[in-house]
């Protein structure tokens, strides 16, 4: 365990303060995106520039979903090539088929160390954790040490909510068996996965300094140097978006707009011809606290219902401690199914390169929630598998925690 003290510093910033000494003399590959930043007296600098400025031999970049610069929308393939800003070769870890998601061991030829530095948002569907796990597997196969530069869980790291992911439902949005809201950092995920998968990989973890578990990312003391939050993907503009995402992402499994194509993704939900006011009232009733919904009309500029006027809701978290974010997403779906059965549909297209299992079942780790809602069951019935899965998860992960939890699910 590391006891937090002083202002918040991400793992990358601590290595930067040390002059990147542990990487000097090695050929280094980096999994990175726009969140891979270190703060300096003049502002924030991307770690690739910081490392090269210190004399580190960076030879290869790997881009997770959305790409090294997070320019691509969700489920849009990204090409490799040569990065025009860094002038370095880039291999995409999100291409045009399922095989493209896997970091191949042979792509590590000429690499002595691999650095992973990407901001996660604390939800199992967010695919950077899957990329991290695949990276560990490839490095184990090639005997390449991995350096994970940790960053705070922006949702506070205390609360968990969700169920398990049986093997049949493993996918890029559920690669590791953790709850939908898991409370871990990327370093803790790396330690858990390496141990449970039995990976023979040299894993160096550089933990954060000064992260106060229980506080959200926008509440952290960042030392007064620029805002802490950089969007890790095109539709994650704020910490508030991340707070709602564990529930809002479930709307992807339906024909409702989850707000992509608006300035408030995962906060805005709807479709044409919905009874907006009745929907807002029903969502608040079902959620059980911590969430306010008000009626809204909006027009997405792209993706679902592009250039069409939608009726729906805008969501506002009123109490982060009370909000059960996964349940809130199920409440949105349940309310729409009840009030507008003639409008509501489940997603029919392939989801993250999987077409034999529905998107909802992939996100939920099974069919219980979908089947319960289809049969008119309650949210309690739809989440009946949560409590046992959460208890098992806490015991599994406890040996791998890197930060003390004074309260919450892990205490």
Render pLDDT for 18-75 as a digit per residue (tens, 0 to 9).
999 999 999 999 999 999 999 888 889 999 999 999 999 999 999 999 999 999 999 9
pLDDT at 227 over 60: no
Token couple for 365? 């780790």
Q: How far is CA 246 from CA 110, 122, 151, 195, in A?
A: 38, 8, 19, 26
**Mean pLDDT, residues 257-267 taken together:** 97
Domain ranges of the chain: 11-230+391-400, 239-366
% the chain with pLDDT above 90: 90
| CATH architecture of residue range(s) 239-366 | Alpha-Beta Complex (3.90)
- The Cα 180–Cα 185 span in angstroms is 14
Give CA angle at 66 (14, 90), nearest 5°: 70
Q: Over the stretch 305-316, which tens digit does the pLDDT of each residue have?
A: 999 999 999 999
Q: Which residue has the higher pLDDT, 42 or 142?
A: 142
Instruction: Give the pLDDT confidence score for residue 2 in this predicted structure.
Output: 42
Instruction: Give the pLDDT confidence score for residue 290 in this predicted structure.
Output: 95
pLDDT at 163 over 90: yes
Mean pLDDT, all residues of the chain? 95
| CATH architecture of residue range(s) 11-230+391-400 | 3-Layer(aba) Sandwich (3.40)
Contacts of 68 (CB under 8 A, 6+ apart): 32, 33, 61, 83, 90
- The Cα 116–Cα 357 span in angstroms is 31
Instruction: Give the pLDDT confidence score for residue 5 in this predicted structure.
Output: 53
């Amino acid at each position: 365990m590391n006891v937090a003290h002083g202002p918040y510093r991400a793992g990358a910033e601590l290595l930067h303060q040390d002059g990147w000494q542990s990487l000097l003399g090695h050929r280094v590959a980096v999994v990175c995106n726009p969140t891979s930043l270190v703060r300096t007296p003049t502002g924030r600098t991307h770690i690739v520039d910081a490392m090269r400025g210190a004399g580190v031999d960076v030879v290869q970049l790997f881009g997770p979903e959305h790409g090294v610069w997070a320019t691509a929308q969700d489920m849009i393939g990204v090409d490799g090539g040569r990065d025009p800003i860094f002038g370095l070769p880039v291999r995409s870890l999100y291409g045009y088929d399922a095989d493209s998601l896997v970091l191949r061991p042979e792509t590590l030829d000429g690499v002595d160390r691999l650095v992973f530095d990407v901001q996660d948002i604390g939800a199992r569907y967010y695919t950077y954790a899957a990329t991290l796990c695949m990276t560990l597997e490839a490095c184990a196969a090639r005997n390449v040490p991995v350096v994970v530069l940790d960053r705070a869980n922006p949702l506070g790291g205390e609360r968990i909510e969700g169920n398990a992911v049986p093997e049949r439902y493993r996918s890029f949005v559920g690669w590791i068996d953790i709850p939908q809201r898991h409370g871990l950092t990327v370093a803790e995920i790396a330690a858990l996965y390496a141990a449970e998968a039995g990976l023979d990989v040299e894993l160096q973890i550089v933990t954060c300094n000064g992260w106060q578990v229980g506080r959200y990312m926008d509440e952290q003391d960042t030392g007064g140097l620029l805002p802490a939050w950089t969007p890790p993907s095109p539709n994650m503009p704020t910490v508030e978006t991340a707070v709602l995402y564990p529930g809002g992402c479930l709307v992807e499994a339906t024909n409702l707009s989850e707000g992509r194509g608006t300035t408030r993704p995962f906060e805005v939900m709807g479709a044409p011809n919905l009874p907006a006011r009745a929907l807002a009232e029903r969502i608040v009733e079902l959620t059980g606290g911590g969430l306010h919904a008000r009626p809204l009309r909006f027009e997405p500029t792209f993706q679902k219902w592009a250039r069409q006027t939608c009726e729906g809701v805008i969501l506002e978290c009123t109490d982060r401690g009370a909000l059960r974010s996964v349940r809130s997403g199920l409440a949105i779906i349940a309310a729409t199914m009840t009030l507008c059965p003639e409008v509501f549909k489940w997603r029919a297209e392939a989801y993250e390169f999987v077409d034999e299992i529905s998107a909802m079942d992939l996100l939920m780790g099974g069919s219980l929630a979908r089947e319960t809602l289809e049969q008119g069951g309650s949210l309690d019935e739809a989440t009946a598998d949560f409590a046992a899965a959460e208890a098992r998860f806490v015991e599994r992960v406890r040996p791998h925690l890197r930060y003390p939890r004074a309260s919450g699910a892990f205490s």
